[in-house]
């Protein structure tokens, strides 16, 4: 399988092609007869690279080179296959530093560290509310979401801590317990998935009624897993996925899942170092909500929610090539043409404080 650097090289070169040239490139690619024409016709540059990785996992550079050569774009062939002392932009590479053993030390400042040991310690929290005290609120089809998400998390090497049918207080308690999980000190990341009815800013507990506002504030996720309350996750990605309505506005409902300024100091006077290190309280989070604020989310009564199905599909096909923000973008893209009668749904990426790229699987 092509590694991240190879994929980036190919994508960077394809982005140098003009629109008409890119169409010619896809025509040459189609003539190799491995990728179906219907998949290539409307494919973007990112999607074309994905298709090449899927169909030519060990030969992406060679295939790209062949198509560019057929187009007489020798300049891009050279950019794709630069001399050893140059990068893809023709800039001479800096000499790599070595450690005491003489091995090269790669610069991974842009990527969160992942190792085989840290992958073995991965743990995820999965909460699904299906049955409610008011049976009319039961979330038919959510069993499929729970099954799909559990299988997906396991395929991404996470041990799954699973809860079903919780009250708001029980959801809160499960987050507190999760923040103390012994594996967190060794893991490279965590995933928290909560699926229930919801409204703006809150997840509904299983006992919710008009008279009993049984709710869990979404903000508590960030509070329980922040640097202060969960230091074991300091500088580690915390991925939040929420399938729930955020209001009753149209953008939704086959079956509905829902009933700055800052001070800047010019000077720092009389400050002494007390050997206390201050860290960002909320950092390295990224969340994907199933819909935009004040709208609802769709769920099929037999197949489960479209949001979870699309996450399952995108992650299974692309998690070995792309970082988490790109995976979320691909999920959102699936909803661009999503429609049911006059209804629409668009997932929303929120509270992203990731400072690097996170890949579920390190480059081989």
Straight-line distance from the first to the last Cα atom of the chain, in angstroms, rounded to the nearest whole number: 8
Neighbouring-strand partners of residue 126:
162, 193
Catalytic site residue from 4, 197, 289, 323: 197
47-50: long-range contacts, CB 8 A cutoff, minimum separation 24: 48/14, 49/7, 49/10, 49/11, 49/14, 50/317, 50/318, 50/321
Please choose, from the candidates 88, 243, 260, the residue with its C-alpha nearest in 3D space to the C-alpha of residue 152.
Answer: 243
Residue 197 is a catalytic residue: yes
Residue 321 and residue 15: Cα distance in Å, rounded?
A: 18
Please choose, from the candidates 46, 54, 49, the residue with its C-alpha nearest in 3D space to the C-alpha of residue 64.
Answer: 49
Residue 263 and residue 2: Cα distance in Å, rounded?
A: 46
Neighbouring-strand partners of residue 202:
199, 217
Residue 245 is a catalytic residue: yes
Other residues' Cβ atoms within 10 Å of the Cβ of residue 364: 8
Catalytic site residue from 46, 224, 230, 245: 245
- Residues carrying an active site annotation: 197, 245
């Amino acid at each position: 399988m092509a590694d991240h650097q190879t994929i980036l090289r190919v994508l960077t070169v394809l982005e140098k092609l003009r629109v008409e040239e890119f169409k010619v490139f896809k025509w040459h690619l189609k003539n190799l007869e491995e990728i179906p024409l219907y998949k290539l016709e409307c494919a973007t540059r990112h999607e074309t690279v994905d298709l090449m990785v899927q169909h030519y996992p060990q030969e992406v550079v060679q295939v790209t080179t062949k198509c560019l050569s057929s187009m007489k774009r020798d300049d891009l062939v050279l950019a794709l296959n630069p001399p050893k002392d140059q990068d893809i932009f023709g800039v001479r590479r800096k000499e790599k530093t070595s450690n005491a053993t003489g091995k090269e030390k790669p610069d991974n400042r842009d990527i969160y560290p992942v190792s085989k040991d840290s992958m073995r310690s991965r743990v995820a929290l999965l909460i699904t509310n299906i049955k409610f005290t008011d049976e009319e609120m039961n979330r038919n089809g959510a069993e499929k979401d729970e099954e799909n998400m559990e299988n997906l998390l396991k395929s991404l090497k996470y041990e799954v801590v699973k809860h079903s049918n919780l009250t708001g207080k029980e959801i809160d308690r499960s987050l507190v317990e999760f923040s103390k999980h012994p594996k967190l000190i060794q893991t490279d990341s965590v995933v928290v998935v909560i699926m229930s009815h919801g409204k703006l800013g809150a997840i509904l507990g299983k006992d919710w009624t008009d008279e009993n506002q049984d709710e869990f504030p979404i903000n508590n996720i960030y509070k329980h897993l922040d640097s202060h309350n969960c230091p074991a996750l300091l500088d580690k990605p915390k991925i939040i996925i929420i399938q729930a309505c955020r209001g009753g506005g149209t953008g939704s409902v086959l079956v509905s899942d829902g009933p700055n300024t800052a001070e800047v100091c010019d000077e720092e006077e009389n400050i002494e170092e007390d050997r206390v290190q201050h860290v960002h309280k909320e950092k390295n989070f990224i969340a994907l909500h199933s819909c935009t604020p004040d709208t609802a989310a769709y769920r099929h009564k037999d197949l489960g929610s479209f949001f979870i199905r699309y996450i399952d599909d995108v992650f299974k096909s692309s998690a070995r090539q792309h970082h988490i923000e790109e995976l979320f973008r691909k999920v959102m893209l699936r909803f661009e043409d999503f429609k049911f009668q006059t209804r629409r749904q668009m997932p929303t990426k929120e509270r992203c404080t990731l400072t690097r790229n996170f890949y579920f699987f390190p480059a081989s």
